[in-house]
């Protein structure tokens, strides 16, 4: 029995047909994998190998490459130049003024120098005829001031410096170079306290303050003030609003007529003239306000006190004029 088991263990294995097929398949797979590896190596070697080009073609390619590099370099320089030029403009856009980035003291000196260069002694001497103090005046016509303002452009900082210089023409110039969007209620109060003549008061109100979003509030606040030019400023501002504030509701001007009636008894010359100016201006705005202003003027004209009687009668002369009535009829039609 032991002999039989030993002979079975040492006997050579006999390959069956299934084993033969498996060996053949394995050989085929190994061969395919080896072929794929060889093909991959050839492809890598082909990409890495330098491509040989004919001498003429190689020179042509080099020239083309140099031109492309030059074009790219030029484009980069142009782009850098454009970016460099655009930077100063972007910085100016962030500032509250459109003036070049020069020192404020230099800008102020230049503006005052140009005012002096435009002045004349004859014009300065003539200011007294219009009740304008000339101690701090150069003698510059309004047309020259406005032309200078156009050249300078909007400059909020310069406007403040011009005002602080206390020169008559510098303060007029400030009204044209300041930016209404940057005007604050505190600035309006501070400048109003400095008003010392009707010309500065009216120019500031007509050219600057009436474009400020704080204008209506200042009319309400300044009308009761006792200071002559501050009260005048309230009614000069109201008159200016009738011209420039196209979107204002009629109710605001109807309230303005109430202020006019309340303060029409102020006998001071520069106050009563401003009250009269505001009354006439409201009456010329449209047909509805003309009727209301006409009624107010009629009541004032019937008063016994000299100031309100003059304000009412003078306003009625203009409100009843043919030119005003024709203009209102055209607007209504």
Instruction: Choose among 217, 210, 286, 294: nearest CA to 260.
Output: 294
Listed residue (91, 96, 95) closest to 156, CA to CA: 96
Average pLDDT over residues 291-301: 98
Q: For 147-160, how does the pLDDT look when each residue is reduced to its tens digit (9 = 90+)?
A: 999 999 999 999 99
What was the pLDDT predicted at 140? 98
Which residues lie closer than 8 Å to 268 by C-beta, 6 or more apart? 228
Which pLDDT score is estimated for 276?
98
Give the sign of the dihedral formed by CA 333, CA 239, CA 181, CA 222.
negative
The per-residue pLDDT for 58 is: 44
On the question of pLDDT at 10 being above 80, the answer is no
Q: How far apart are the first and last CA of the chain?
A: 138
Over range 308-316, report the average pLDDT. 98
pLDDT tens digit sequence for 234-280: 999 999 999 999 999 999 999 999 999 999 999 999 999 999 999 99
In this prediction the pTM is 0.70
DSSP 149-167: HHHH---HHHHHHHHHH--
For residue range 48-93, list pLDDT tens digits in order: 444 444 444 444 444 444 544 444 444 444 443 333 333 333 333 4
**pLDDT value at residue 55:** 43
Phi-psi region of 131 (alpha: psi -120 to 50; beta: other; left: phi over 0): left
* Residue 322 in tokens: 């043919």
What pLDDT digit, counting tens, does each position of 203-242 carry? 999 999 999 999 999 999 999 999 999 999 999 999 999 9
Q: What is the mean pLDDT of the chain?
A: 82
Cα–Cα distance for residue pair 122/129, rounded to 1 Å = 12
- Once rounded to an integer, what is the mean pLDDT over residues 305-328? 97
Task: Tell which wins on pLDDT, 288 or 70.
Answer: 288
pLDDT of residue 90: 35
User: Burial letters for 268-278: b for 16+ Cβ neighbours within 10 Å, e otherwise?
Assistant: eebbbbbbbbb
| pLDDT given for residue 332 in this prediction | 84
């Amino acid at each position: 029995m032991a002999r039989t088991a030993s002979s079975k263990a040492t006997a050579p294995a006999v390959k069956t047909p299934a084993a033969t097929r498996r060996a053949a398949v394995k050989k085929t797979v190994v061969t395919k994998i080896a072929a794929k590896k060889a093909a991959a190596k050839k492809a890598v070697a082909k990409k890495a190998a330098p491509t040989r080009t004919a001498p003429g073609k190689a020179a042509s390619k080099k020239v083309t490459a140099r031109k492309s590099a030059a074009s790219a370099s030029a484009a980069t320089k142009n782009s850098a130049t454009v970016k460099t030029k655009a930077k100063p403009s972007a910085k100016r856009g962030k500032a509250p003024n459109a003036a070049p980035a020069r020192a404020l003291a230099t800008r102020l000196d230049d503006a005052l120098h140009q005012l002096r260069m435009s002045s004349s002694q004859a014009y300065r001497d003539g200011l007294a005829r219009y009740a304008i103090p000339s101690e701090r005046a150069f003698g510059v016509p309004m047309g020259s001031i406005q032309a200078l303002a156009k050249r300078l452009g909007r400059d909020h900082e310069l406007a403040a410096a011009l005002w602080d210089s206390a020169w008559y023409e510098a303060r007029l110039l400030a009204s044209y170079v300041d930016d209404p969007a940057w005007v604050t209620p505190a600035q309006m109060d501070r400048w109003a306290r400095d008003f010392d003549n009707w010309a500065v008061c009216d120019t500031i109100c007509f050219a600057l303050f009436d474009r400020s979003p704080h204008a209506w509030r200042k009319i309400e606040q300044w009308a009761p003030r006792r200071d002559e030019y501050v009260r005048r400023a309230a009614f000069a501002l109201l008159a200016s609003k009738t011209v420039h504030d196209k979107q204002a509701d009629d109710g605001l001007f109807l309230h303005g007529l109430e202020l006019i009636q309340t303060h029409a008894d102020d006998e001071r010359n520069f106050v009563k003239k401003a009250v009269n100016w505001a009354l006439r201006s409201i009456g010329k705005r449209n047909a509805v306000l003309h009727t209301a202003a006409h009624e107010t003027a009629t009541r004032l004209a019937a008063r016994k006190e000299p100031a309100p009687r003059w304000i009412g009668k003078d306003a009625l002369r203009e409100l009843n004029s043919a030119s005003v009535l024709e203009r209102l009829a055209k607007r209504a039609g």
